[in-house]
Amino acid sequence: MAVYTEVSDDDLARFITHYGLGELLSYKGIAEGVENTNYLVHATGGTFILTLYEKRVDPKDLPFFLGLMEHLQARGVTCPLPVRDLQGQMLNELGGRYAALVTFLEGVWPRKPKASHCLELGRALAQMHLAGDGFALTRPNALSLTGWRPLFDKFAARSDEILPGMHKLIDGELQYLEAAWPKSLPSGIIHADAFPDNVFFIGEKLSGLIDFYFACNDMLAYDIGICLNAWCFEADYAFNVTKGRALLKGYNEVRKLTSEECDAMPALARGAAMRFLLTRSYDWLNTPKNALVARKDPFDYVRRLRFHQNAKSISTYGAETTP
């Protein structure tokens, strides 16, 4: 369950009147999600997603997130569109939280992604990267290289409680990444959290991307590294090279990777595994056992990281040729 803030019928009915959406018909909390409270709202004017932004979201970032969705939608990316109220505002308050309405996106996320899903994802990710060009606002990636060591410092003393040898593993990997991390690859807007539950499909056709609340400015190819981790490992943690090949093929059909990006892919995938290993480890040690959101096992990303440590080139991930 991920509904942190309860909303009353009367308060929500008053809230939607500011948008000219007619009468409130029904609403229900959405259990999926980690960072924010979400409701599915039915009104006479349509179906929408209401998001109440919880304490882990910096309010200063909200204009970036909402403006980005509007920017991408205007450039052909299928994603939720923030609804402006009668005064033209995208952000308001409800239940003591900042709140926004976005349009409802049809589709379901794939519980068992196939290579065909990965192909569609690659195309959509590249389209999003191209469409992000020209967006006026910027947001640095706090969960990239410069943020990893400070995050590790917050739990390093307890890291071996998760897994014996975890401190040595993370510290050694950070030393490697701090020396090997690429510095001059093509950059722009990335999604940074395009896991399967944030990508909707109708059948095997991608119907849209959701949840842009980790989006930021970073190296475009780093987004691919995140997706290789999120989409291409099986339940036994074996890397599925067919899925990796499909993901890279789909991306290259829309935006061709440079030779420098191809050369950097093992390090980028390795860094992406480290990013999620660190955040999961921190949450594992600091989330109360009675919390509404279940903790995610950091060991999942230890296994992924060990695979990337042995990757010699982008061909390890299924790329057939490089530029």
Which stretch of DSSP H or E encloses residue 303? helix 299-309
| 74 & 28 share domain | yes
CATH of the domain at 301: 3.90.1200.10
Which of 82, 103, 124 is the endpoint of a domain? 103
pLDDT of residue 320: 79
* Beta carbons of 2 and 38 less than 8 angstroms apart: yes
16 vs 27, 54, 106, CA distance in Å? 12, 20, 21
Which of 58, 76, 103 is the endpoint of a domain? 103
Q: What is the pTM of this model?
A: 0.94
Q: Residue 150, Cβ neighbours under 10 Å: how many?
A: 10
| 306 & 207 share domain | yes
What size, in residues, is the chain? 323
* Beta carbons of 50 and 27 less than 8 angstroms apart: yes
8 vs 37, 48, 99, 125, CA distance in Å? 14, 17, 14, 37
Lowest mean pLDDT across 155-169, 223-237, 264-278, 285-299: 285-299
pLDDT of residue 158: 97
Model confidence at 291, pLDDT cuts 50, 70, 90, reads low
Percentage of residues in the chain having pLDDT higher than 90: 88
| 278 & 218 share domain | yes
pLDDT of residue 11: 95
Q: Which amino acid is at 133?
A: D
Q: Does position 1 have pLDDT exceeding 70, yes or no?
A: no
Number of domains in the chain: 2
The residue segments making up the domain with residue 239 are 115-317
Which stretch of DSSP H or E encloses residue 131? helix 115-131
**Does residue 3 lie within any of the structural domains?**
no
Give the three-class secondary structure for 257. Answer: coil
pLDDT of residue 30: 86
**Does residue 62 lie within any of the structural domains?**
yes
Mean pLDDT of the chain: 94
What is the pLDDT averaged over residues 218-246? 97
Q: How far apart are CA 44 and CA 16, in angstroms?
A: 11
What is the pLDDT averaged over residues 98-115? 96
Q: How far apart are CA 156 and CA 171, in angstroms?
A: 9
Lowest mean pLDDT across 54-63, 168-177, 219-228: 54-63
Q: Does position 242 have pLDDT exceeding 60, yes or no?
A: yes
